[in-house]
Amino acid sequence: MNLSQVGEFGLINLLKKDLLPASPGVIAGIGDDAAVLQCAGDCWQLFTTDMLVEGIHFRLDWCDYADVGYKALAVNISDIAAMGGRPTHGVVSLALPEHIQVADVLAIYRGLREMAGLYQVNLVGGDTVKSPGPLVINIALLGEVPAGRAVYRSGAAPGDLIYTTGRLGTAAAGLYVLSHQVNCSPSLKEQLIKAHLRPVPRVAAGVLLAGLEGVSALDDNSDGLAAELREICSASSTGCLIWQKALPVLPAVSRLAGRLGTDILDWVMNGGEDYELLFTLRPKHRRAVEEALQRAAVPFTAIGVMLPAGEGLLLERPNGVREMINMRGYNHFAGSPAG
Amino acid sequence: MNLSQVGEFGLINLLKKDLLPASPGVIAGIGDDAAVLQCAGDCWQLFTTDMLVEGIHFRLDWCDYADVGYKALAVNISDIAAMGGRPTHGVVSLALPEHIQVADVLAIYRGLREMAGLYQVNLVGGDTVKSPGPLVINIALLGEVPAGRAVYRSGAAPGDLIYTTGRLGTAAAGLYVLSHQVNCSPSLKEQLIKAHLRPVPRVAAGVLLAGLEGVSALDDNSDGLAAELREICSASSTGCLIWQKALPVLPAVSRLAGRLGTDILDWVMNGGEDYELLFTLRPKHRRAVEEALQRAAVPFTAIGVMLPAGEGLLLERPNGVREMINMRGYNHFAGSPAG
């Protein structure tokens, strides 16, 4: 069977079922943003890894080496944030094509170091090998969360409200600007490209949410809203309803999409890489959680509500019509375009 | 500057100096087999990562997918053993070429699972992405060692005895058999190829050595004896003398090298991938350590003695002549052949 027939999620399910049994000391293994490990003391340890491959996740004619290092660490930090944790220690593996220069490798590390400095991550080791093909960077990252406080994808229930931090679709707009000749102001272009190349993981928001009552599920928006909703709904055995009118998008991004004849919903649902946090909330905790987010100056928007599983994953159009959410969120091996 | 001009070790030194400063909570960062992290409780945590790339570290016409998974985890476990620790939890990243089948990926995981089962490693997560080029597998592995008991490369002093576990050159002979038409008995061929494809990390020996007084430095023989000696001598600011006559080699491997007209010393010094442990020992603890290894049925051989740094790295030939050790041990980017 070909990989595109099972897809990334199908593969994870195969692996979970047959090959990677649960073990003592492992509070949560494969299948969430990070594994959760028992450890001595009053913290749980988080452990995640993400690999970026040249030509799939980035193109060196669209970014520089420092951007690659920066983003590779940022997406791992976002996985820790998506469990409600803080990152602590990381290791970096690089497969380097023959032609690469020492200055290029040092630039990758400058990007890594910049991101590491922003989030107090200690880069403590790594491996550097030759590649006969693309540049590959893999990071494995540890984090910590107070014992009992990790937030999974699986805790949502029908009736819970669905929120996102920040704005959606900005990174997808940045990718579009990088990959097309787009006529827009240099400052907007720069802002959108930065959103794509230099995402800002929501660690403070994740830590805050993990400490609040009523936050029932948490995920980071790496693969597009549609894919993340599917993950939460699948893990929680629920459906969901998203209100299109509520989706937070930068006005300049909406206007750009309109001008280009692109469906803004496609950028939001399928673009991914915004690295915002998607979370669900028991309605009775709504006021307390919203006030806490406001006090912490974390931008957030309620974008929908969880439904019973039988309802499926629905989008309410501005005219009130409900339709199934189109599942084209980025999924390795499913043949959709790279982000 | 090209990478081949600085080499892997030069690159690590550049990174250590400028980009990866020491941090609180990090007992030992980049530059040994694994990082050593402070953690709550009476253990230190070990953290390592190793990446294997198709065409560089393995060829799929010489091994099957299960071998790739098995070895990728084995080499990481060996890094933990080389600090005196036990492995605990791992995460696996795979970059998969388009043509790969689901059955192939499951075979990689069967190999991983087999190795994980032998050493009680919990595989708790990972990342699976597309590759436009070679298959790439990266593993990051955690381990633990009693607090204060990690053994570094840097602890050797002139006068310390140098030991290796097991036999050297066997994996190099296996690689030779895989890559050449060699006329030898099927059972020998199988044994040698297995040494190359299915190395056995020395976890029990590492844990034992870390608990004994007088063991001053420890490393695993992944890149060949010459490279590992250089690492210990460089980290410890010493020289060394190796007695060629003492080097432990399987008689069948010696005979094969002789028959092929290959210098067995090249396999031992530069072949690598035996994943035996190389360690140094204060002479006054010799009897106690040797007895402990014998009781634990760990095969070992004294192969030399540490010298002051000014003496360099020397090999004593069987005729008593001393010469400098030829530094061709496998080093990425230095242009030597892949192992």
Residue B10 in domain: no
Question: CA B234, CA A211: separation in Å to the nearest integer?
Answer: 48
**DSSP H or E run through B323:** strand B322-324
Cβ atoms A167, A271 nearer than 8 A: no
User: What would the pLDDT profile of A283-303 be if each residue is shown by its tens digit?
Assistant: 999 999 999 999 999 999 999
Residue A334 in domain: no
Considering only CB atoms, A51 lies closest to which of B8, B35, B95, namely: B95
| pLDDT exceeds 70 at position A65 | yes
Contact B109 A15 (CB under 8 A): yes
Task: Give the minimum alpha-carbon distance from A14 to chain B in angstroms, rounded to a whole number.
Answer: 8
Question: CA B339, CA B321: separation in Å to the nearest integer?
Answer: 30
DSSP string, B173-185: HHHHHHHS-----
B185 & B293 share domain: yes
Region B201-227: mean pLDDT is 97
Q: How many contacts (CB atoms, under 8 Å) link A and B?
A: 250
Output the domain CATH number for residue A176. 3.90.650.10
Question: CA A70, CA B304: separation in Å to the nearest integer?
Answer: 45
Q: How many CB atoms lie within 10 A of CB A118?
A: 15
Residues 6+ positions from B191 with CB-CB distance below 8 Å: B170, B252
Q: How many CB atoms lie within 10 A of CB A184?
A: 15
Residues 6+ positions from B78 with CB-CB distance below 8 Å: B33, B199, B201, B202, B220, B222, B275
Among the listed residues B30, B191, B3, B132, the one whose alpha carbon sits nearest the alpha carbon of residue A55: B132
Considering only CB atoms, B91 lies closest to which of A53, A136, A140, namely: A140
Output the domain CATH number for residue A112. 3.30.1330.10
In chain B, what percentage of residues exceed pLDDT 90?
A: 83
A138 & A169 share domain: no
Last residue of a domain, one of A111, A146, A181: A146
- Residue A189's domain spans which residues? 161-324
Its ipTM equals 0.91
B311 & B170 share domain: yes
Residue A293 in domain: yes
User: What would the pLDDT profile of B123-142 be if each residue is shown by its tens digit?
Assistant: 999 999 999 999 999 999 99
Q: What token pair was written down for A335?
A: 């043949």
Residue A5 in domain: no
Considering only CB atoms, A124 lies closest to which of B5, B30, B133, namely: B30
Rg (CA), chain B: 20
Residue B328 identity (one-letter amino acid): R
Last residue of a domain, one of A146, A174, A192: A146
Task: Give the minimum alpha-carbon distance from B248 to chain A in angstroms, rounded to a whole number.
Answer: 29
| pLDDT exceeds 80 at position A23 | no
Contact B125 A1 (CB under 8 A): no
User: What would the pLDDT profile of A137-184 be if each residue is shown by its tens digit?
Assistant: 999 999 999 999 999 999 999 999 999 999 999 999 999 999 999 989
User: What would the pLDDT profile of B273-294 be if each residue is shown by its tens digit?
Assistant: 999 999 999 999 999 999 999 9
Cβ-Cβ contacts under 8 Å, A2 against chain B: 101-102
Task: Give the minimum alpha-carbon distance from A164 to chain B in angstroms, rounded to a whole number.
Answer: 24
Q: How many CB atoms lie within 10 A of CB A24?
A: 7
Among the listed residues A167, A180, A286, A35, the one whose alpha carbon sits nearest the alpha carbon of residue B89: A35
B81 & B218 share domain: no
Q: For B252, left (φ over 0), alpha (ψ -120 to 50), or beta? A: alpha
Question: CA A104, CA A66: separation in Å to the nearest integer?
Answer: 8
- Restricting to A residues 59-88, those with a Cβ less than 8 Å away from any Cβ of B are 88
B235 DSSP 8-state letter: H
Contact A125 B332 (CB under 8 A): no
Residue B209 in domain: yes
A129 & A180 share domain: no
Phi, psi of B187 (to 5 degrees): -70, -35
A165 & A140 share domain: no
A59 & A128 share domain: yes
Question: CA A59, CA B315: separation in Å to the nearest integer?
Answer: 48
Question: CA A195, CA B144: separation in Å to the nearest integer?
Answer: 39
Residue ranges in chain A assigned as alpha helix (H): 3-18, 65-81, 102-118, 170-179, 186-197, 203-210, 225-236, 251-260, 264-266, 286-295
Contact B133 A133 (CB under 8 A): yes
Considering only CB atoms, A11 lies closest to which of B56, B128, B131, namely: B128
DSSP string, A257-294: HHHHT--HHHIIIII-----EEEEE-GGGHHHHHHHHH
Phi, psi of B178 (to 5 degrees): -70, -35
Cβ-Cβ contacts under 8 Å, A117 against chain B: none
A139 & A165 share domain: no
Residue A127 identity (one-letter amino acid): D
User: What would the pLDDT profile of A187-238 be if each residue is shown by its tens digit?
Assistant: 999 999 999 999 999 999 999 999 999 999 999 999 999 999 999 999 999 9
B109 touches A at CB < 8 Å: yes
Cβ-Cβ contacts under 8 Å, A109 against chain B: 15, 19-20
In order of A185, A243, A301, A317, the CA distances from A304 in angstroms are 33, 5, 9, 12
- Restricting to B residues 264-293, those with a Cβ less than 8 Å away from any Cβ of A are none
pLDDT of residue A337: 36
Q: Is A10 helix (H, G, I), strand (E, B) or coil?
A: helix
B237 DSSP 8-state letter: T
Residue A336 in domain: no
Residue of A nearest to B127 (CA): A50
Task: Give the minimum alpha-carbon distance from B109 to chain A in angstroms, rounded to a whole number.
Answer: 7
Mutate to test the interface with A, among B5, B127, B141, B220 (most CBs of A within 10 A): B127
A323 DSSP 8-state letter: E
**DSSP H or E run through B149:** none
Q: Is A219 helix (H, G, I), strand (E, B) or coil?
A: strand
Between vectors from CA B95 to CA A151 and to CA B124, what angle results, nearest 5°? 35
Q: Is B52 helix (H, G, I), strand (E, B) or coil?
A: strand
Binding site residue list of B for ATP? 109, 126-127, 153, 222
- Where residue B316 falls among pLDDT bands split at 50, 70, 90? very high
| pLDDT exceeds 90 at position B103 | yes
Residue A19 in domain: no
Q: What token pair was written down for B27?
A: 């007992």
**A23 vs B263, more confident:** B263
B200 touches A at CB < 8 Å: no
Write down the mean pLDDT value for chain A: 92
Cβ atoms A171, A274 nearer than 8 A: yes
Q: Are strands B313-316 and B238-243 parallel, antiparallel or unpaired?
A: parallel
B243 & B288 share domain: yes
Residue B152 in domain: no
State how many domains chain B has: 2
Residue of A nearest to B139 (CA): A140
User: What would the pLDDT profile of A68-103 be if each residue is shown by its tens digit?
Assistant: 999 999 999 999 999 999 999 999 999 999 999 999
A165 & A308 share domain: yes
**Which residue is associated with the tokens 């006559």?**
B245
Q: What token pair was written down for B124?
A: 């708790």
Listing from the earlier edge strand, what are the strands of the sheet with A238-243?
A215-220, A277-281, A161-165, A300-308, A238-243, A313-316, A322-324
- Alpha carbon B23 to its chain's center: 27
Binding site residue list of B for Mg(2+)? 33, 48-50, 79, 127, 220, 223
Residue B85 identity (one-letter amino acid): G
Q: What token pair was written down for A201?
A: 């993981």
Q: How many CB atoms lie within 10 A of CB A319?
A: 7
Contact B3 A88 (CB under 8 A): no
Cβ-Cβ contacts under 8 Å, B29 against chain A: 122-125
Cβ-Cβ contacts under 8 Å, B26 against chain A: 89, 122, 124
The dihedral over CA atoms of B283, B288, B289, B291, expressed in degrees to the nearest 10, equals 130
3-state helix, strand, coil in chain A (%, to 5): 40, 30, 35
User: What would the pLDDT profile of B16-29 be if each residue is shown by its tens digit?
Assistant: 665 666 677 888 88
In order of A38, A63, A129, B124, the CA distances from A90 in angstroms are 19, 23, 18, 16
Cβ atoms A95, A139 nearer than 8 A: no
B139 & B171 share domain: no
Cβ-Cβ contacts under 8 Å, B57 against chain A: 129
Q: Establish how many alpha carbons lie within 13 A of residue B332's alpha carbon, considering only the half-sphere containing its beta carbon.
A: 22
Question: CA A281, CA A119: separation in Å to the nearest integer?
Answer: 26
B179 & B319 share domain: yes
Contact B102 A40 (CB under 8 A): no
Cβ-Cβ contacts under 8 Å, A48 against chain B: 91, 125
**Which residue is associated with the tokens 């004994």?**
B212
pLDDT of residue B27: 87
- Restricting to A residues 304-333, those with a Cβ less than 8 Å away from any Cβ of B are 332-333
Q: Is A126 annotated as a binding residue?
A: yes
Task: Give the minimum alpha-carbon distance from B62 to chain A in angstroms, rounded to a whole number.
Answer: 18
Cβ-Cβ contacts under 8 Å, B50 against chain A: 93, 127
Question: CA A260, CA A182: separation in Å to the nearest integer?
Answer: 9
Among the listed residues B90, B82, B83, B138, the one whose alpha carbon sits nearest the alpha carbon of residue B113: B90
Write down the mean pLDDT value for chain B: 92
pLDDT of residue A318: 94
Considering only CB atoms, A51 lies closest to which of B29, B110, B127, namely: B127
In chain A, what percentage of residues exceed pLDDT 70?
A: 94
Q: Is B293 helix (H, G, I), strand (E, B) or coil?
A: helix
